[in-house]
Amino acid sequence: MKEHLDNCRQAIIDGDAERSEALARLTLEKKMDVLEVIEKGFVEGIREVGRLWEEGELFLPELVIGADAMKKAMDVLQPSLEGGKGGKDSLGHVVIGTIEGDIHDIGKTLVATMLSANGFEVTDLGADVPVAKFVETAADKGADWIAVSALLTTTMPGQRKVIEQLKAKSLRSEVKVMVGGAPCSAEWASEIGADGYAGDAVAAVALAKGKAG
């Protein structure tokens, strides 16, 4: 198992989408613990990619192919996750996306992955998502949470607009809102009336669990 986890981690760091997809399929074929492979294999890989990016050791191309490799693996493994089935075991439904005007999505995708891996049903709207789409989708799905990511100070105000639109549609009491992304903070979350701020995927899961049920 350890070797498999290392291989998964390395495939992400190398940005090798073919390999990560093959390893994901192998995980299912060999009936390995999907959750463990995700959390201790692939997620460790994308975390390392993020760390190397922060350190200035790797750049956009490597960041993007790492994220692509992660997506490929998750496309294969997602359907097997408990929360994804929306059954009684689901801890709740989270609608997640990066706000309108902003195409940064690696952190957001990691949060979506971790929430999914930890028992939540997740609808990932992608990036550059209009405010209305967050609200409509949450209403459609009867979501418990909206998670909005913003990585630009210029797009952060969109997070406030999501909350305002929920209020305008009398949905604010039905849906909780968490915000994240590099320029965000607990102060910002408080200022806009969000239910919480999560600085990383682990914090997002904790926040969602703490407020769920």
Partner 1 sequence: MSGFLDTLKEKVLLFDGGMGSMLIAAGLGEGEAPDEWSLTRPDLLADIHTRYLEAGADVIQTNTFGATSIKLASSCRGGAPDTAELNIMAAEVARRALDEFIVGGRFLAGDIGPTGEFFPPMGLLTADRAREAFREQAAALEKGGVDLFLIETMYDIREAVEAVRAVREVSDRPVVCELTMDRKKKGYFTIVGDTPAKAAEVLIAEGTDVIGANCSITSGEMIDLAVEMRSLTDAPLLFQPNAGLPEFKDGCAVYRQDPEEFAGDLMKMVEAGADAVGGCCGTTPDFIRAVRRRLDRM
Q: Which stretch binds partner 1 (CB under 8 A): 55-63, 82-90, 123-131, 165-173?
A: 55-63
C-alpha to C-alpha distance for 18 and 24, rounded to whole angstroms: 10
Q: Does 61 bind partner 1 (CB under 8 A)?
A: yes
Q: Does 185 bind partner 1 (CB under 8 A)?
A: no
Angle at 82 between CA 80 and CA 84, to 5 degrees: 80
Which positions ≥6 away from 187 have C-beta within 8 Å? Answer: none
Binding-site member from 56, 87, 210, 213 for partner 1 (CB under 8 A): 56
The amino acid at residue 185 is: S
CA distances in angstroms from 184 to 79, 87, 108, 160, 190, listed in the order given: 31, 33, 13, 12, 11
Binding-site member from 25, 33, 51, 59 for partner 1 (CB under 8 A): 59
Q: Does 68 bind partner 1 (CB under 8 A)?
A: yes
C-alpha to C-alpha distance for 96 and 94, rounded to whole angstroms: 6
Q: Does 186 bind partner 1 (CB under 8 A)?
A: no
The helix (run of H) or strand (run of E) holding residue 47 is helix 43-54
Q: Does 154 bind partner 1 (CB under 8 A)?
A: yes
Q: Does 64 bind partner 1 (CB under 8 A)?
A: yes
C-alpha to C-alpha distance for 50 and 59, rounded to whole angstroms: 10
Q: Rounded to the nearest whole angstrom, what is the least distance from the CB of residue 191 to partner 1 in the complex? A: 12
Q: Does 187 bind partner 1 (CB under 8 A)?
A: no
Provide the CB-side half-sphere exposure for 172 (13 A, CA): 14
**How many residues of this chain interact with partner 1, rule: CB under 8 A?**
15
Q: Rounded to the nearest whole angstrom, what is the least distance from the CB of residue 56 to partner 1 in the complex? A: 3
Closer to partner 1 by CB, 57 or 89: give it. Answer: 57
C-alpha to C-alpha distance for 39 and 165, rounded to whole angstroms: 35
Binding-site member from 26, 52, 65, 203 for partner 1 (CB under 8 A): 65
Q: Rounded to the nearest whole angstrom, what is the least distance from the CB of residue 48 to partner 1 in the complex? A: 17
Binding-site member from 29, 55, 173, 187 for partner 1 (CB under 8 A): 55
Which residues of this chain interact with partner 1, rule CB under 8 A?
55-62, 64-65, 68, 153-154, 157, 183
